[in-house]
Chain A
Amino acid sequence: MKPTKHPLSDLHANLPAEIDLFICCASFEQRCTKIANSLTSVTVRRAVVAEYRDGSMASAKHAEVILKKFPGAKRVDIFSSAPLRTLDNLVNALSPQDVETPRHIAVDISTFTREALLILLRVLRRTLRPDDHIHCLYVGAKQYSIGDSEEKTWLTHGVREVRSILGYPGRLLPSRQTHLIVLVGYEDERANELISSIEPSVLSLGLGSIDPIRPELATTNRLFYQKIASVFGQIVRRFEFSPSDHLVTRDAIGEQVQQHRSYNTIVAPMNTKISTIGCGLVGLDNPDLQLCYAQPEIYNERYAEPEDDYYSFELSELMITMNDSV
């Protein structure tokens, strides 16, 4: 289903009156409390609050804010440096016997790292029933790198590690060359490091120019795209995707994969969480394809200022292929 945008004050209007399970993530960003705080007229039967245990103190503070809202919520430790522990804890928290066959699940995808979000997607596909409904909720950024001018915008610095995302290792054949697909966001250094470490033979650079979340940031996004493209010019192929529509993104990536079928393909989501869901859908449907993640050394404390609107969409596409899950 195509995401639609609404004011946060209308959150209840786009969700069922009763949510069986609400999943969200407490991070260092204030954005993580926006959806939880807006779920005023919706009955939430059960909540799972993931919390980064190896992150900023602000994560714990935000977790407390969310837990106050959902007193019986299950707190799940997740780790930006330890994906296997994240996976195990999410599997335990969302195991089928623990979940009373929820019918409506709402996931605030805004502040999971892209890696954790994709792991969550994989776990959900394993644990949910075919007739479940997943409602994804996303609060975008009004402004990134708060207080900095356009040319000084920065979100992260340094890359500690580039790794495949758990659940999406791909089937990469040693004899083949690599085709890397990168969905460019606002992190040119992080993208450069990732591309340099993978050393692809073909690089599909995605520009999020289709229905951007903040059209006024299009120039900034293009600037970052150009900075990366100018470094890797000769192997670059450009394509366009949508930061606000996971299905458009899924199809755009699928097209790139098809164009280079004789290569090992690796996808690096580096744009919005909605487009990351699009990457996840491609990965779930294509076991040959690998998804990868560049873990940054440093985040900008003033990463993003939350919008007053949110995006909502039902992720029915996850259910369509869930019987194929590993």
Chain B
Amino acid sequence: MVGDERTGIINTNPFSVQTPEGLPADQATQLFVDDYNDFPAVQVPGHAFLLGPRGSGKSMIFRICQPDCQQRKLNKNLRDLAFFAVYVPVKETQIAVTELGRLKQQYADILINEHLMVTYVASRFFETLRKLQINDTEGTFHKALCLFADSHFVRRLIRLGYKTDINLSEETTSLEECIVKLSGICDDLFTDASTYFQKLAFSDEVTAYSGALCSYVNFLLPLLKHARSLPFMPIDAPIFLLIDDADNLTETQAMIVNTWVSARTTSDVSLKISTTLAYKTYRTVTNRTIDKPHDYSEVDISPVYTSQVKTKYVDRVRKIVQRRLTVFGIANVSPDEFFPTDSDQDARIHAIRDRVGDDWERGVGNRAYRKSDAQVRYTMPQYMKSLADKGASSTFRYCGFEQLAHISSGLIRFFLEPASQMYTRQQAANPDLPVIYISPEIQHTVVYEESRSLMFAEFDKIRREPRGIHEHSYQVRVKKLANLVKALGETFREKLLSDDSERRVISIAFSDEPDDEILDVLDFGVELGYFHMSAIGNKDGTGRTRMYILTRRLAPFFNLDPTGFAGYLFVKSQDIRAAMYDSNALKRKSRRRGTAYFEQQELPFFL
């Protein structure tokens, strides 16, 4: 293990996972790649949902929105900021503890949950203020905050049932002390309620709750409205509540947040809610739905991994990696130098590229519009075929920055986590040398291990736990998915090694309407990360149809070219259903009819 044996602190690794919340403002602004200008909804007043899978950079966007980063990024004083953002992380076990399940479907469920949430947010608001270390040499800010606290905040809480005789003006001597006290009051309000429901878990009866009960309307909104006018806050600026990872909220809690959204308080308070597609509900506590654009706007930051945005994604990864290398002192090394390709493999690929070019000029083999098109289309497939013909497929090396970026399949998290492991292994291989590159062998080993691990080691050895229905159906569902992933991976591999005009295929679209059984398995695959889902024009050009893209993370396992994304297979439901029951079904069909069986149904243009 690389690290300080005495303290146990492991040395810095530029790719190790860092929670944006924990990043100092200077480091956050240095590391942030600002290509989110397409998403003004995040930075203007108005409720907004920010959608994207975990690891797509939502938390980093929220980190940059916070006042310390905004001041640094824009070189402005706090008073001059356009908004004051409060970061509200929703961690799975903090607000949504298991004991709360006792309250489910009881009236108190909503009241207690809302109390927990507003006191949690209020505490985060004061904590945000504390971290800013606002300069108050004159003491005027302290005086103003005490006045606000004693005449509004505490009085309101007493009306809501909180027992206190605190007087902030008398009991605090500085702005920071006052903020800490206010934060502590919110913490107390939060823990009073949590102590109550902890006892409920082991009790047969629901006992009465005797603490204060705070809601958005009677506590949080008035607090934030008043706070906006405090003399150290940004002038006339709204407060943004950045609710991060809202899919971790329970259904009741999501309904409560939706009710806040429906309140349309955007001139004072805007809710910016980040979530994956697994957000539990868009209903409010009164069972009405919130709708876009009426109640909120929606920003989808999911990198749809089509050929058009592929380059943009690779460029973004390159910028992120470059910044990390720079910040961690690996200066003057580009991402491509840090993650080099295998030079011998490059030479062999280059030779094939030249041969493909010569063939094109002589009019031999498959035709493409241009020589360069032919080289892009056929070089890698021919190289991989040459290895397969020699029985040496396993000697292909998945390495080089671009290759790794493609394998991360559109999610930066899947680049950084393997890169972090590579760094550690490289460091262990040469403990006395600084790491200035990752050897191709280490790159390949790590991404191959990741790929194999994703493929469940061997799918058919697994047992899946059911979700409340009979086990058998779950076992079958897993088996269907396993068969389908294997069938598609192997079909794409056969296609790659074929003589078809387009061989670099990693997606399917349906030429007919898939039934619920097929969609259930495919959606299950999306949920587990085996597929990305998108949509393309249907075969007739009369509408759109679902497209499922096999994650490129599996490219090393199936010996595919992760950069290949030129074609889609238009498939029939019956073929996919057959593959779900028998992983060799597609292979048999393509051997019987040739891989062109699928190619014939290929989309004639690319997205």
Contacts and interface: CB of A to CB of B under 8 A. Distances in A.
Nearest to A54: B466
Given A199-B91, A300-B463, A164 B183 contact: no
Contacts of A99: none
Contact of B248 (A54, A83, A197): A197
A314 to B, nearest CB: 25
Contacts of B91: 178, 197-199
A326 B199 contact: yes
B195 to A, nearest CB: 7
A130 interface: no
A82 B9 CA distance: 38
A238 B8 contact: yes
A145 B478 CA distance: 19
A175 B17 contact: no
A233 B463 contact: no
A160 interface: yes
A231 B93 contact: no
A297 B528 contact: yes
B26 to A, nearest CB: 15
B99 A166 contact: yes
Interface in A252-289: 264, 266
Contact of A166 (B124, B201, B424, B467): B201
A233 B13 contact: yes
B10 A298 contact: no
A301 B463 contact: yes
A165 to B, nearest CB: 7
A231 B417 contact: yes
A81 B198 CA distance: 19
B471 A233 contact: no
B421 interface: yes
B124 A56 contact: no
Contacts of A171: 191, 194-195
A100 B149 CA distance: 57
A239 B8 contact: yes
B10 A84 contact: no
Interface residues on A, range: 35 or more
B19 A229 contact: no
B131 to A, nearest CB: 10
Interface in A195-236: 195-201, 222, 225-227, 229-236
B19 A80 contact: no
Nearest to A200: B19
B11 interface: yes
Interface string B181-212: 00110110011001100110110000000000
Interface stretch (A102-110, A150-158, A243-251): A150-158
A166 B19 CA distance: 27
Contacts of B417: 192, 231
Interface stretch (B254-262, B449-457, B561-569, B573-581): B449-457
B119 interface: yes
B123 A236 contact: no
Contacts of B9: 236-238
Contact of A84 (B8, B89, B186, B201): B201
B200 to A, nearest CB: 10
Contacts of A56: 463, 471
Nearest to A88: B204
A298 B457 CA distance: 12
B465 A234 contact: no
B98 A174 contact: no
Contact of A298 (B97, B421, B465): B465
A229 B457 CA distance: 22
Interface string B7-49: 1111111001111011000000000000000000000000000
B126 interface: yes
B92 interface: yes
Contact of A91 (B21, B123, B202): B202
Given A87-B201, A163-B98, A238-B3, A297 B464 contact: yes
B420 interface: yes
Contact of A173 (B13, B190, B463, B466): B190
B462 A301 contact: yes
A162 B94 CA distance: 11
B465 A81 contact: yes
A177 interface: yes
Contacts of A158: 528
Contacts of A140: none
Given A160-B465, A238-B1, A151 B449 contact: yes
A174 B452 CA distance: 40
Interface residues of B, number: 69
B127 interface: yes
B101 interface: yes
A175 B464 contact: no
A16 interface: no
Nearest to A171: B191
Contacts of B195: 171
Contacts of B54: 196
A229 B89 contact: no
Given A163-B98, A239-B8, A290 B465 contact: no
Interface in B151-199: 183-184, 186-187, 190-191, 194-195, 198-199
Contact of B97 (A28, A169, A175, A189): A169
A296 interface: yes
B348 interface: no
Contacts of B248: 197
A148 B457 CA distance: 9
A65 B184 CA distance: 55
A200 B91 CA distance: 10
A84 B465 contact: no
Contact of B465 (A91, A165, A299): A299
A7 interface: no
Contacts of B97: 163-164, 169-170, 290
Interface in A13-60: 28, 54-57
A73 interface: no
Contacts of B198: 169, 326
Contacts of A83: 98, 101
Nearest to B1: A226
B22 A302 contact: no
Contacts of B16: 230-235
Contact of A175 (B8, B21, B123): B123
A232 B594 CA distance: 47
A87 to B, nearest CB: 7
Nearest to B421: A230
A198 B264 CA distance: 31
A167 interface: yes
A230 B457 contact: no
B592 interface: no
B531 interface: no
Contact of A157 (B123, B456, B468): B456
A192 B453 CA distance: 13
Contacts of B421: 227, 230-231
A282 B476 CA distance: 41
B461 interface: yes
B102 interface: yes
Contacts of A300: 457, 461-463
Contacts of A264: 94
A297 B98 CA distance: 18
A296 B21 CA distance: 27
Interface in B391-425: 417, 420-421, 423-425
29 contacts: A54-B466, A54-B468, A57-B471, A81-B465, A81-B466, A87-B201, A122-B202, A158-B528, A162-B92, A162-B93, A166-B98, A169-B99, A172-B93, A174-B186, A189-B453, A196-B54, A197-B91, A198-B92, A200-B19, A225-B1, A227-B421, A230-B420, A233-B10, A236-B9, A238-B3, A292-B93, A295-B465, A297-B528, A326-B198
Given A55-B471, A91-B202, A232-B17, 5 more contacts: A162-B93, A169-B194, A174-B124, A175-B126, A175-B183
10 A-B pairs with least C-beta separation: A233-B16, A230-B424, A238-B8, A174-B123, A233-B13, A169-B97, A164-B93, A173-B187, A199-B19, A164-B97
